[in-house]
Amino acid sequence: MYVQLPFDELRVDSTQKKRIAYFYDADVGNYAYGAGHPMKPHRIRMAHSLIMNYGLYKKMEIYRAKPATKQEMCQFHTDEYIDFLSRVTPDNLDNFAKEQIKFNVGDDCPVFDGLFEYCGISGGGSMEGAARLNRGKCDIAINYAGGLHHAKKSEASGFCYLNDIVLGIIELLRYHPRVLYIDIDVHHGDGVEEAFYTTDRVMTCSFHKYGEFFPGTGELRDIGVGKGKYHAINVPLRDGIDDATYKSIFEPVISHIIEWYQPSAIVLQCGGDSLSGDRLGCFNLSMSGHANCVNFVKSFNIPMMVVGGGGYTMRNVARTWAFESGLLNNVVLPSELPYNEYFEYYGPDYKLDVRPSNMYNANSPEFLNKILTNIIQNLEHTKHAPSVQMQDVPRDPEDLGDVDEDTAEAKDTRGGSQFARDHETEKPGELYDDDDKDKGEKNITITEAEQMEIDELNQEE
């Protein structure tokens, strides 16, 4: 089943036009986790500088998002955790001894000046990006200040405090019946997986190093529970994976997911710590190997949000995110770097490239074959239900759901089983009377149950 593909030069169709909304807040580069901390928000400013100096501002719309409010953050996080983030500072830290332990702030996730504003910028970009996609105002939204995939409902983790991705996906779920989340950071996307582990409205798929590596989760056999069973996918990899090998596992997994699950929106986390030579990572992807994932996901022409994530060798993260922004705009940026205010970071070659090393690739074809076979077997359970119909087709009363599902076990916390919900659903046309949030997507295949859940989300406002 696993076939090693050749790694070809990346191609774009320069005649194809995509509407790109790029979110950037110039303040983001000013926040600092503290001396010696590997996470440096400055890399986002470096990437932005390359993006601007390559002239990509002529191709895309650039926005500064409104920072996420406390209320918006609490759509996922607990009130007490967000309240803590909004009040704690390096100066009053001593008054929060108990909370520091409870919310896991300290070493990896230090309290620094402006922490809450930093969270607001990261979250605001992903939420507004999702809202623009929802309204059909763009085809692709980009927020490199986002991608902080380890943050939990009530806890900071792995340099992440606010889970902007979960907030963005919650926003997408107001309009999209099924959202696919793809994570190419070298670390497991645990916070996002956990948030949607019990739902079939979001499929999460994380490619990561597994085995004696942070955060320790993301085994092949972790596949989701309840209604979410088979809707979490984990691709646990070993050290040294190279471009061709990564492509050979990434492309078939993603193709199968899109074919079977039929997502109507995709969120792609582009953590740059899977690049060769990363300060914390252990993979061996070149800039092109990483960017191939972005180009491949884009080729499906599904509304898409691209967020940042990890990445601890700043010059390489900046190079890669700039190159990927080019691809999203259907441009292969030339390798000669334009002059920019951080030019000296890119010596001695001053080129737009991240080259692989000669490190050993511990991912054998047999190992990858086992992973791919297992994932494809599991995916067969997610094939979108044949009872699904287009929204404007009158419904067959015989086809409202599976009575067998209407058991005590099938009941969930969202107001009953699929069967019960199907019978409670209003006419779909009545669900969109909020004019300023017009539906961005036409002809999405959508079940009444999905419609009902979308409606419930919108009522929580």
Minimal distance, residue 269 CB to Zn ion, in Å: 9
Q: Which is nearer to Zn ion, 184 or 444 (CB)?
A: 184
Residue 311 Cβ vs Zn ion, minimum distance, rounded to whole Å: 7
- Is 94 known to sit in a ligand binding site? no
The answer to whether 41 contacts Zn ion (rule: CB under 5 A) is: no
Q: Tell me the angle at which helices 79-87 and 115-134 cross, rounded to the nearest 10 degrees.
A: 130
Nearer to Zn ion, 185 or 448 (CB): 185
Catalytic position from the list 150, 176, 256, 290 = 150
CA dihedral 32, 38, 41, 42 (to 10 degrees): 90
* Shortest distance in whole angstroms from residue 187 CB to Zn ion: 4
69 sits in the region (left: phi over 0; alpha: psi -120 to 50; else beta) called: beta
Tell me the residue type at 70.
K
> Does 25 engage in binding with Zn ion (CB under 5 A)?
no
Site for Zn ion contains 174 (CB under 5 A): no
Q: How far apart are CA 434 and CA 384, in angstroms?
A: 28
**Are 126 and 165 a contacting pair, CB within 8 Å?**
yes
Q: How far is the CB of 46 from Zn ion (least distance, A)?
A: 18
Is 120 a binder of Zn ion (CB under 5 A)?
no
Is residue 185 marked as binding? yes
CA distance 59 to 331: 10
The footprint of Zn ion on this chain (CB under 5 A) covers a number of residues equal to: 5
Nearer to Zn ion, 155 or 185 (CB): 185
Nearer to Zn ion, 114 or 215 (CB): 215
Two tokens, residue 193: 């997986």
Candidates 155, 185, 190, 448: give the one binding Zn ion (CB under 5 A): 185
- Known catalytic residue: 384? no
Determine whether the annotation assigns residue 108 to a binding site: yes
| CB of 184 or CB of 203, closer to Zn ion | 184
Which is nearer to Zn ion, 152 or 187 (by Cβ)?
A: 187
Q: Does residue 271 interact with Zn ion by CB under 5 A?
A: yes
Sign of CA dihedral 30, 33, 36, 38: negative
Tell me the CA end-to-end span of the chain in Å, nearest whole number.
46
Shortest Cβ 310–Zn ion spacing (Å): 3
Q: Does 190 bind Zn ion (CB under 5 A)?
A: no
Given 128, 193, 273, 422, the residue binding Zn ion (CB under 5 A) = 273
Does the protein bind Zn ion through residue 242 (CB under 5 A)? no
106 is in an annotated binding site: no
Residue from 40, 45, 77, 187 binding Zn ion (CB under 5 A): 187
Please state, in angstroms and rounded to a whole number, the distance separating the CA atoms of residues 38 and 33.
Answer: 8
Give the residue closest to Zn ion by C-beta.
310
- Shortest reach from residue 159's CB to Zn ion, in Å: 8
Among 183-191, 216-224, 410-418, 426-434, the segment contacting Zn ion (CB under 5 A): 183-191
- In angstroms, what is the minimal distance from the CB of 386 to Zn ion? 39
| 312 is annotated as contributing to ligand binding | yes
Q: Which is nearer to Zn ion, 43 or 227 (CB)?
A: 43
Binding to Zn ion by CB under 5 A, coded x per residue (else -) over 296-325, reads --------------x---------------
Q: Is 187 annotated as a binding residue?
A: yes
Interface residues with Zn ion (CB under 5 A) are: 185, 187, 271, 273, 310
- Residues annotated within the binding site for a divalent metal cation are 185, 187, 273
- Residues annotated within the binding site are 108, 158, 185, 187, 273, 312
So which residues are the catalytic ones?
150
- Residues annotated within the binding site for substrate are 108, 158, 312
